[in-house]
Amino acid sequence: MSTGDERTFEPLPPAHGRGFAVTWWGQAWLKALEDTALDNQQTKAGRRLARAGAVGAVSVRPGRITAVVQDKGRAAFRSDVLLQQLSEDAWDRLLDMAVESSGHIAALLDREMPPLLVEDAAAAGIELLPGIGDLEPECTCEAWDHCGHTAALSYQMARLLDQDPFVLLLMRGRGERALLDELQARSVARASAAPQESDVPAPSRGVRAEEAYAMGAILPPLPALPDLPETPGQPPALDTETAPAPGLDVSAVEFLAHSATVRAHQVLTAALSGRPVPTPLEENQDAVRLAIGAPAEVRARLAEGTGRSRDALELAVQAWEFGGEAALDVLENEWTPDPDEAVRARAALDAAWEEDERPHLKAARNRWSLADAPAQLRYGRDGRWWPYRKERGRWAPAGPAAQDPAAALAALVGGEQIT
């Protein structure tokens, strides 16, 4: 819910088996909390409360976040965390920096905090992200430092920041709508003040994609598009009186034509809904996509054409249905993470469980197998975790990917704990 310069977020579900911050700006928020708190036991208590879902609805407004937090005894306390607002002069300089690079606006609209904007602002003496001592606690439990309640609120805030960096900008003093309106006004003024070109017609030239995207938020909307058909169209029928050319498999051509209409409908649906448009597939990948829903004889030809056995193609289809190209790569390609990737993977595994809940995993390249169960986690090149289950002596994909290894493993074992 949003009202003027205040936004209220419904309580988030418990955070069992996952970290509180994935984005770099969410992690910066938690670092400010953990480096400031004088009592590490209180931050640990706050982390446990947040994991248990003890933080109620979070109200965010300039300079302050507020929530009711329940402790283990079910007693409720109003907790606030304060962050100093930026001055009018600081906002004026920050908005000028944002207008100078349309990529900053594009990143914010995509719910990303642009690192260069933060760095440029810091160089100009404007601190967007909090530092040590910037998060000031207030709680009705009357603790003088960060207590478990304000720490729990701060951990929950990190999850909200992951989803929307505009929440941090609201705490610093400006809401999303006000920011976009101000950016529009400054963009128009900047364009009006630009030197006018001569009347000689200039050669036609394009606009950078990031600039066009960023301007979309402050330009009049385009006319409405026609409605998209609910289902793909039917390709032309090939059942004619003309005999096919020698060697032409009419049923295969009809299958490919129908598949093309389905693919075209998927691409158009993605484009009109604002989702990423599917990228062109390699031949080996497209064969797996084509095999989905294909009759047995078509699958046999696709398996033969790609050098797979029929069982291997079935596994590939299963993986594709869980996650497309990325899932297929995880199934068919074993790889060794470079040192930086290996550190990130290990850090994710360490943060996913409390120390006494962590399962025993054996690592082999990008694959971590449970020592006492037919279950495995595979680390993808995109940093996500894929669950696998051993079936009939082979590893088979068992579900979609998750950013958190504990969540992937929980989906694999049906919510039961494996240790």
Q: Percent of the chain, pLDDT > 90? A: 35
How does residue 17 score in pLDDT terms, banded at 50, 70 and 90? low
Q: 217-255 b/e with 16+ CB inside 10 Å = b?
A: eeeeeeeeeeeeeeebeeeeeeeeeeeeeeeeeeeeeeb
- Cα-Cα-Cα-Cα torsion 149, 152, 157, 163, nearest 10 degrees, comes to -150
Tens digits of residue pLDDT in 379-405: 999 999 999 999 888 999 999 999 999
pLDDT of 282 higher than 80? yes
The predicted model gives 351-378 an average pLDDT of: 89
pLDDT value at residue 3:
43
- Cβ-based neighbours of 233, under 8 Å, separated by 6 or more: 261, 265
Rg of the chain (C-alpha set)? 27
pLDDT of 128 higher than 70? yes
CB 377 within 8 A of CB 361: yes
CB 34 within 8 A of CB 43: yes
- Angle at which helix 176-193 crosses helix 88-100, to 10 degrees, equals 60
How does residue 217 score in pLDDT terms, banded at 50, 70 and 90? low
* Helix spans in 18-128 (H): 24-36, 40-51, 88-100, 102-109, 115-123
pLDDT value at residue 371:
85
List the structure tokens of 201.
């017609």
pLDDT value at residue 326:
93
Distances (CA, A) of 403 to 18, 99, 111, 333, 350: 9, 33, 17, 20, 14
pLDDT value at residue 200:
44
Q: What is the DSSP letter of 342?
A: H
Average pLDDT, the chain: 84
**Model's pTM, two decimal places?**
0.48
pLDDT of 18 higher than 60? yes
pLDDT value at residue 2:
43
List the structure tokens of 167.
């929440």
pLDDT of 219 higher than 60? no
pLDDT of 417 higher than 50? no
Distance CA 190, CA 197 (A): 15
Tens digits of residue pLDDT in 171-205: 999 988 888 888 888 877 776 665 554 444 555 45
pLDDT of 1 higher than 70? no
- Cβ-based neighbours of 43, under 8 Å, separated by 6 or more: 33, 34, 37, 146, 151
pLDDT of 103 higher than 70? yes
Least reliable range by pLDDT among 91-105, 208-222, 325-339: 208-222
Q: Percent of the chain, pLDDT > 70? A: 88
Distance CA 340, CA 5 (A): 41
The predicted model gives 370-383 an average pLDDT of: 91
pLDDT of 46 higher than 70? yes
pLDDT value at residue 135:
92
| Contacts made by residues 37-44, CB under 8 angstroms, sequence distance 24+ | 37/145, 37/146, 37/151, 38/145, 38/146, 39/145, 39/146, 42/143, 42/145, 42/146, 42/147, 42/148, 42/151, 43/146, 43/151
> DSSP states of 296-337 as a string?
HHHHHHHHHHTT--HHHHHHHHHHHHHHHHHHHHHHH-----
Least reliable range by pLDDT among 239-248, 285-294, 380-389, 396-405: 239-248
pLDDT of 214 higher than 70? no
List the structure tokens of 309.
């056995």
**Residue the block writes with tokens 């404007």:** 126
* Helix or strand (DSSP H, E) at 159: helix 148-163
